[in-house]
Amino acid sequence: MRLLILGGTTEASALARRIAGRHDLDPILSLAGRTRSPTPPPIPFRIGGFGGIPGLKTYLIEGRIAAVVDATHPFAAQMSQNAAIACRDLAIPLAILTRPAWRQQGGDCWFGVTDMKAAVLALGETPRRVFLTVGTLQLAAFAAAPHHHYLVRTIEHPHGMAALPSHRLILARGPFGVEDEIALMQEERIEVLVTKNSGGAATEAKIAAARTLGVEVVMVERPATEDTRSFYTVDAVLAWIGDHRPAP
Ligand code: NAP
């Protein structure tokens, strides 16, 4: 069974590890190529965009792909939409492997916004000490609010940091612990945390730390996705793959 996994996440890596060596599956993992030196996956892989919906359709047809698992990040909306349209048009089964969104709990002080531009506006006019954990791609949006001080945490060195006049950059990869997050926010006198609602345990500690310290959270909510089957565990996706195995 030719299986295309759209990856770039811990969920996709976990699925790849589980199916590596299975003789009934012929998988290929697709990475966008954003990470400079990704760890080579344990299954065959390709790197780079497909060329929009037409390119993806050509790839699916020429590769005789029998099913697609979209295990991209919840904020990789373009790739997910392209996959939904291409699979619908070609009648190829598509499942989403994702993580549940974080939900507000008692004691949280969240300000929900729909995009990064709105997150910048939500910080307001009064200068504040802001913890930015939004990845690298949309940091430039905060150049529009240079009166704040930013503590920026990313995995890889981002471009465009010069646009933020007052900042400190930390390079680190999760998982993070709640006590460490509390200590960091206290040391840096953080007043507001900006994050995308990525969900998942690896980076949830900052949410708990903000709750403990009474720090406000500007939460960029997830983009809407097509109405496709979503699963939250690798086991559930494996069962789905089994159900969609082509007849011999
Ligand atoms: P995006 O905006 O949805 O996608 C932009 C374009 O990048 C897509 O149209 C596609 O190009 C290409 N692309 C994206 N994912 C791909 C994949 N797995 N394989 C091949 N091409 C892919 O995506 P993004 O937000 O830039 O994210 C890029 C990658 O980083 C994804 O794999 C995602 O899982 C991972 N990631 C994203 C975030 C985030 O916050 N956005 C966080 C962690 C990891 P074509 O149109 O040419 O096919």
Residues comprising the chain, all counted: 248
Cα(33) to centroid of ligand 1, in Å?
A: 8
| pLDDT on residue 83 | 97
Question: Which residue's CA is minimally distant from atom 8 of ligand 1?
Answer: 79
Measured from the CA of 82, which atom of ligand 1 is nearest?
9
- Spatial CA neighbour of 219 closest among 243, 188, 247, 196: 196
Contact 108, 233 (CB under 8 A): no
| pLDDT on residue 164 | 87
pLDDT digits (tens, 9 = 90+) for 17-33: 999 999 999 999 999 99
Question: Which residue's CA is minimally distant from atom 26 of ligand 1?
Answer: 76
Q: How many CA atoms within 13 Å lie on the side-chain side of 154?
A: 18
Query: For residue 40, is pLDDT > 80?
Result: yes
Measured from the CA of 71, which atom of ligand 1 is nearest?
34
Residue type at 89 in one-letter notation: D
Determine phi and psi for 131, rounding to 5 degrees: -100, 115
Query: For residue 77, is pLDDT > 80?
Result: yes
Measured from the CA of 80, which atom of ligand 1 is nearest?
3
For 34, the token pair is: 């954003």
Cα(76) to centroid of ligand 1, in Å?
A: 5
What average pLDDT does range 96-109 have in this prediction? 94
Q: How far apart are alpha carbons 26 and 65 in whole angstroms? A: 9
Q: How many CA atoms within 13 Å lie on the side-chain side of 58?
A: 7
What are the extents of the domains in the chain? Answer: 2-100+224-243, 110-220
Domains 2-100+224-243 and 110-220 share a fold: yes
| CA distance from start to end of the chain | 10
Q: What are the C-alpha distances in Å from 233 to residues 5, 11, 14, 32, 139?
A: 15, 8, 10, 22, 31
Contact 14, 20 (CB under 8 A): no
Query: For residue 38, is pLDDT > 90?
Result: no
Contact 19, 13 (CB under 8 A): no
pLDDT digits (tens, 9 = 90+) for 203-227: 999 999 999 999 999 999 998 877 7
Pick the CATH number of 2-100+224-243 from 3.30.465.10, 3.40.50.720, 3.10.20.30, 3.40.640.10: 3.40.50.720
Percentage above 90 pLDDT, the chain = 84
68 burial (CB, 10 Å; 0-12 / 13-18 / 19+) is buried
Ligand 1 within 6 A of CB of 7: yes
Query: For residue 65, is pLDDT > 80?
Result: yes
Percentage above 70 pLDDT, the chain = 100
| pLDDT on residue 167 | 95
Ligand 1 within 6 A of CB of 8: yes
CATH class of the structural domain 110-220: alpha beta
